[in-house]
């Protein structure tokens, strides 16, 4: 049993810190996150954070990279059925709402740093290639370039995650099924 739950388990502590930090950064962003809250939430201690991750920024990088790894392959692309692909992406955003928030904080607070996450670049490149091949086979229209088409699909998938409260106020509540349908149908319309 010693392997299952050692009283002092570095890997488990690291994991708890990462999970707590994910919630904190998703909620408050980099500038708004509090290192003390993360340590408390993880039932650990600030010094551990600096031991494992070096700095607050280093912790965010680790959180973001971790999230990317979990996300990148979670929803494999299906170039032959982009509407359904968008629907599944939408589902994944509903299921894991912090993903979109982290990505948005990243874009706002890390813009211009020039640093990119290689795993995301690589996976995006692969998806563009897949779309380009489908275009060559006549499965997809060529009115948009492969990169443009992929970008539009990804953007539309996040339609319901990126609205200001004022819009929700006016639009009123929509059922989960209807929201998904809007995403699927709008992508389908793009491909006409």
Q: Is 156 in the site for its own copies (CB under 8 A)?
A: yes
Tell me how far apart the 2 most distant CA atoms of the chain are, in Å.
61
Near its own copies by CB under 8 A, which window of 15-23, 35-43, 54-62, 103-111?
103-111
Q: Are 26 and 102 in contact (CB under 8 A)?
A: yes
For DNA, the binding residue among 15, 27, 55, 80 (CB under 7 A) is 55
Q: Is 108 in the site for DNA (CB under 7 A)?
A: no
Least distance to its own copies, CB of residue 41, Å? 18
Task: For DNA, give the closer residue by CB, 61 or 185.
Answer: 61
Least distance to DNA, CB of residue 71, Å? 25
Task: For DNA, give the closer residue by CB, 106 or 160.
Answer: 106
CB neighbour list of residue 44: distance below 8 Å, 6 or more residues apart: 13, 16, 17
Least distance to DNA, CB of residue 95, Å? 29
* Interaction partner, residue 152 (its own copies, DNA, none; CB < 5-8 Å by kind): its own copies
Quick one: how far is CA 117 from the chain centroid?
12
67 closest CA partner among 120, 113, 144:
120
Q: Is 18 in the site for its own copies (CB under 8 A)?
A: no
Distance CA 145, CA 163 (A): 27
Distance CA 97, CA 77 (A): 20
* Interaction partner, residue 64 (its own copies, DNA, none; CB < 5-8 Å by kind): none
User: What is the number of alpha carbons within 13 Å of residue 94 lying toward its C-beta?
Assistant: 15
The residues of the shown chain that bind DNA, judged by CB under 7 A, are: 2, 6-10, 12-13, 33-36, 43-48, 50-51, 55-57
């Amino acid at each position: 049993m010693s392997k299952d739950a050692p009283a002092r388990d570095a890997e488990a502590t690291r994991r708890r810190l990462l999970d707590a930090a994910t919630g904190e950064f998703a909620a408050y962003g980099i500038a708004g996150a509090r290192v003390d809250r993360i340590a408390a939430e993880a039932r650990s201690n600030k010094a551990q954070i600096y031991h494992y991750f070096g700095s607050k920024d280093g912790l965010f990088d680790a959180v973001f990279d971790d999230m990317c790894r979990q996300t990148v392959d979670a929803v494999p692309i299906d170039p032959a059925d982009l509407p359904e692909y968008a629907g599944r992406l939408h589902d994944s955003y509903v299921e894991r709402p912090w993903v979109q928030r982290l990505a948005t904080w990243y874009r706002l607070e890390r813009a211009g740093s020039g640093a990119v996450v290689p795993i995301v670049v690589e996976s995006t490149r692969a998806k563009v290639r897949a779309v380009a091949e489908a275009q060559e086979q006549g499965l997809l229209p060529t009115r948009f370039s492969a990169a443009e088409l992929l970008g539009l699909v990804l953007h539309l998938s996040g339609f319901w995650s990126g609205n200001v409260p004022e819009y929700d106020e006016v639009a009123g509540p929509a059922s989960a099924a209807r929201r998904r349908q809007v995403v699927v149908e709008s992508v389908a319309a793009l491909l006409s």
